[in-house]
Structure 1
Amino acid sequence: MNLPRLSVRRPIFTTMVALILIVLGGVSLSRIQIDLLPSIELPTASVRTEYEGASPEVIERLITQIIEEIVATVPGVEEITSTSEEGRSNVEVTFVWGTDLDAAAIDLRATIEDEISELPDDIVRPRISKFSINSFPVVLIGVSSPLDPVELTQLIEDRIRHRFTQIPGVAQVDFWGGFPREVRVELYPEKINALGLSLNEILSTLRDANLDLPAGQIQEGRYEVTLRAPAQFESVEQIRDTVLTVRGGAAVKVGDVADVRDTYEKLTRMIRVNGERGVRIAIRKQSAANTVEVSRQILEEIERINEEFPQIHVVPVINQGNFIERSIENVARSVLYGGGLAVLILLFFLRNIRSTLVIAVSIPISIIATFSLVYFGGLTINLMTLGGLALGVGMMVDSSIVVLENIFRQRDELKKNRVDAAAEGAWEVAPAIVASTITTLVIFLPIVFVQGVFGAIIP
């Protein structure tokens, strides 16, 4: 079939096909997700185990070495690296590229569960987490306020945090640098020694006095009542008045041998927002969610929170959506500038407005039509796909110049009419253009065999 002749002889049909491609590409463009790079899932998982109070040497001997021996038996493991620090062991497991990480994590978890008896009994059970680029926070938020730190932490936990979790596409909201409430009992050593009290005795007394246990059931006729014995501390005064023992006929209370204070946990990190003490909230998105859209909704929610809670000030510290938008806009602007300069250069050399307009119109039509292939191919608009579009624009301009030159030759030298010149001129150079395009594709063919991260980035 002579496609150039068919296009020239059937102009209405050709116009309708072009409009269909434009509409299909435009609709696809409105539904394509925007991201910085293609979705990448590195075949890496980590096994984290906590053992409170243990030194790095003990962690290495009792936990890290044993976990390394256990995970080495999992199929597909390529590399194991570990870190032992005070109270914590972290083992990084790298699988062979191409391994299904979900299935590998299940095998890893099952293998560790089968051999869990080899680890100390009082450890925190090992936690297995997969590494993914999508696990990095989309938006990092800073919150500052003149409120009491404990009150600020409670306000965020009770009324702010859940508002971000309800945003579509948000997977997790982590709270860093807070001031969790803590009732601290600081003992006086000299008084404890004078009364002959032991630490275990004090701990067991406080533990037994702070209970909330079920007390069975009572059946009365056709009714069944479930009983509960609430005996938890409700105030600091109740803790101070708790009787520890009796000495010389007098009750010894907690307040007699200790200072009971309502405060917050010991700080391990200090966060400041605009020079004021504050907290930080990290928001992670779901793997299938659009980073830019999720970030935009988070920023809108931040504005509403600042209006509804004037006693706090919420600001976005890091916003991946804004960075991605600016990066994509810069690349897209470069593509537009390149296409515009190509049209101007063509106009300068061809000195024919009608011929230049043909190429100028074909560039956006081809780009818009390509968006439908991007959408149905499951790709996103990222730096790689836009770079490919820029390369395609350059190749299309080159091919268009060859076709136009041959059409002019058919019309001016061979004295053919416009219809025959357009059809035969395009058909005559079609094999040469196809061969030229294939040579360009052959250059990129070895990329298909590239493995690892680069092979995943360059589809």
Structure 2
Amino acid sequence: MWIVRLALRRPYTFVVGALVLLLLTPYVLLRTPTDIFPAINIPVISVIWQYTGLSALEVEQRLNYMHERALSATVNDIEHTESTAYNGVGVIKVFLREGASVDGGVAQITAIAQTIMRQMPPGQTPPLIIRYNASTVPILQYAFSSRKLGEQELYDLAQNHIRIGLSTEQGVSIPWPYGGRTRLVSVDLDLPALQAKNLSPQDVVTAMSAQNFIFPSGTAKIGSTEYDITLNTSPAVLDELNDLPIKTVNGATIRVRDVAQVRDGYAPQQNIVRQDGVRGTLLTMLRSGSASTLDVIARVKAALPRVLSGTPPELLVKEFADQSIFVR
């Protein structure tokens, strides 16, 4: 009853307070994020190890098992861990207790991952560590295809042009595209030619590794002028790799082109995306942070024409899975 007595004694104060709330209501409504699901803060951290060529059993024994043992002794507030092993990929989910510091958990997991890498197979790279959020769901997807462009070109456009152009928009997170082929330099060995010249595949690898380096060249001061020095330790054109020498026998130099062929190739394809029967790539947009789904989708759609202005006209773009339809 005290609030009633206070209102009767100070009526003007309560009237002004009610008017302030009434005036602030439109401002609050406009700034309130609109989404299908509420913000769900689940303290889960995912650790993804990758080692191409390793079987699922070896991934479990050599990567996941070693990391899980180290996590139990160094990371605070762990409730339980789950791990899944695939060919070349190991996924560990670290579930923290309610109220635990996720940022602190990420820092501790990152620190111990760098430490145990010495005990892992040679060439192992640091893991990808991400925070899992149940409200981070796809809100928009774009498919890219072409009758003239190859899968490598489509993947390159989606990854290095479109994805980068859209990722600067506020509230959007864009993972790597699905489908397509990842470009890389491929060396196709001619095994009969290698045997005829008494060479092994390792000889080719050693020769190319020893002649493809990036060194700091520095400068040279001659008189009163300082010149930049450029070294030729790394080929500038792909075809120059074919001219690298491997071995000299009886005065004759054996080059890479004599036993192999260097070309613009692609990594083994892990997934395929088709649009109207034509292979292409798929970009998925995720909402990040506390941004509104409607605002994020509106920003992406507004920025897409500007990003696509620098792409080939043969590129076909199709939009689907627009979640703003359901949010509205």
TM-score range (shorter-chain normalised) is: 0.7 to 0.9
Give the 3-state SS of the residue equivalent to 1:213 in structure 2.
coil
- The aligned amino acid for 2:168 is Q
Instruction: Give the 5 Å matches for 1:198-277.
Output: 198-247=200-249, 249-277=251-279
Residue 69 of structure 1 deviates from its aligned partner by 1.4
Residue 72 of structure 1 deviates from its aligned partner by 1.4
Larger Rg: 1
Aligned equivalents of 2:268 and 2:154: distance in 1? 16
Determine the structure 1 residue equivalent to 2:130. 129
Aligned equivalents of 2:181 and 2:289: distance in 1? 31
Give CA-to-partner distance per residue, 1:14-73, whole Å, 9 cap, x none. Answer: 998766544332232122211222211211112222233322332222222221211112
Determine the structure 2 residue equivalent to 1:319. 322
Aligned equivalents of 1:54 and 1:291: distance in 2? 39
- The aligned amino acid for 2:256 is V
Q: Residues 23, 98 of structure 1: CA spacing in aligned structure 2 closer, same or farther, 3 A cutoff?
A: same
Give the 3-state SS of the residue equivalent to 2:169 in structure 1.
coil
Determine the structure 1 residue equivalent to 2:139. 138
Give CA-to-partner distance per residue, 1:285-312, whole Å, 9 cap, x none. Answer: 3312222100112123335556775422
Residue 223 of structure 1 deviates from its aligned partner by 4.1
Aligned equivalents of 1:219 and 1:226: distance in 2? 9
Aligned equivalents of 1:98 and 1:129: distance in 2? 18
Give CA-to-partner distance per residue, 1:111-141, whole Å, 9 cap, x none. Answer: 4445444434432223322111344333222
- Contact kept in structure 2, 1:306 and 1:313, CA below 8 Å: no
Give the 3-state SS of the residue equivalent to 1:90 in structure 2.
strand
Q: Residues 253, 306 of structure 1: CA spacing in aligned structure 2 closer, same or farther, 3 A cutoff?
A: closer
Give CA-to-partner distance per residue, 1:321-342, whole Å, 9 cap, x none. Answer: 33322xxxxxxxxxxxxxxxxx
Determine the structure 2 residue equivalent to 1:100. 101
Determine the structure 2 residue equivalent to 1:184. 186
Determine the structure 1 residue equivalent to 2:65. 65
Determine the structure 1 residue equivalent to 2:34. 34
Give CA-to-partner distance per residue, 1:252-289, whole Å, 9 cap, x none. Answer: 33222224433333322111123321111122333122
Q: Residues 322, 304 of structure 1: CA spacing in aligned structure 2 closer, same or farther, 3 A cutoff?
A: farther
Runs of 5+ consecutive residues of structure 2 not aligned to the other structure: none
Aligned equivalents of 1:95 and 1:14: distance in 2? 45
- Contact kept in structure 1, 2:144 and 2:154, CA below 8 Å: no
Determine the structure 2 residue equivalent to 1:162. 164
Give the 3-state SS of the residue equivalent to 2:231 in structure 1.
strand
- Contact kept in structure 2, 1:244 and 1:251, CA below 8 Å: yes
Backbone CA RMSD of aligned residues: 3.3
- The aligned amino acid for 1:312 is L
- Contact kept in structure 1, 2:163 and 2:174, CA below 8 Å: no
Aligned equivalents of 1:38 and 1:99: distance in 2? 20
Runs of 5+ consecutive residues of structure 1 not aligned to the other structure: 326-459
Determine the structure 1 residue equivalent to 2:82. 81
Q: Residues 223, 41 of structure 1: CA spacing in aligned structure 2 closer, same or farther, 3 A cutoff?
A: farther
Aligned equivalents of 2:172 and 2:278: distance in 1? 28
Aligned equivalents of 1:45 and 1:13: distance in 2? 49
Give the 3-state SS of the residue equivalent to 1:45 in structure 2.
strand
Determine the structure 2 residue equivalent to 1:295. 297
Residue 153 of structure 1 deviates from its aligned partner by 3.3
- Contact kept in structure 1, 2:217 and 2:229, CA below 8 Å: yes
Q: Residues 157, 14 of structure 1: CA spacing in aligned structure 2 closer, same or farther, 3 A cutoff?
A: closer
* Larger strand proportion of the pair: 2
- Contact kept in structure 2, 1:167 and 1:297, CA below 8 Å: yes
Q: Residues 12, 242 of structure 1: CA spacing in aligned structure 2 closer, same or farther, 3 A cutoff?
A: closer
Q: Residues 308, 120 of structure 1: CA spacing in aligned structure 2 closer, same or farther, 3 A cutoff?
A: closer
Q: Residues 245, 115 of structure 1: CA spacing in aligned structure 2 closer, same or farther, 3 A cutoff?
A: closer
- Contact kept in structure 1, 2:33 and 2:290, CA below 8 Å: no
- Contact kept in structure 2, 1:299 and 1:316, CA below 8 Å: no
Aligned equivalents of 2:107 and 2:14: distance in 1? 54
Determine the structure 2 residue equivalent to 1:377. none
- Contact kept in structure 2, 1:138 and 1:285, CA below 8 Å: yes
Aligned equivalents of 1:236 and 1:103: distance in 2? 45
Residue 143 of structure 1 deviates from its aligned partner by 1.0
Give the 3-state SS of the residue equivalent to 1:98 in structure 2.
coil
* Larger helix proportion of the pair: 1
Aligned equivalents of 2:117 and 2:221: distance in 1? 44
Aligned equivalents of 1:164 and 1:322: distance in 2? 21
- TM-score, length basis structure 2: 0.83
Give the 3-state SS of the residue equivalent to 1:201 in structure 2.
helix
Give the 3-state SS of the residue equivalent to 2:126 in structure 1.
strand
Determine the structure 2 residue equivalent to 1:279. 281
How many residue pairs match? The answer is: 324
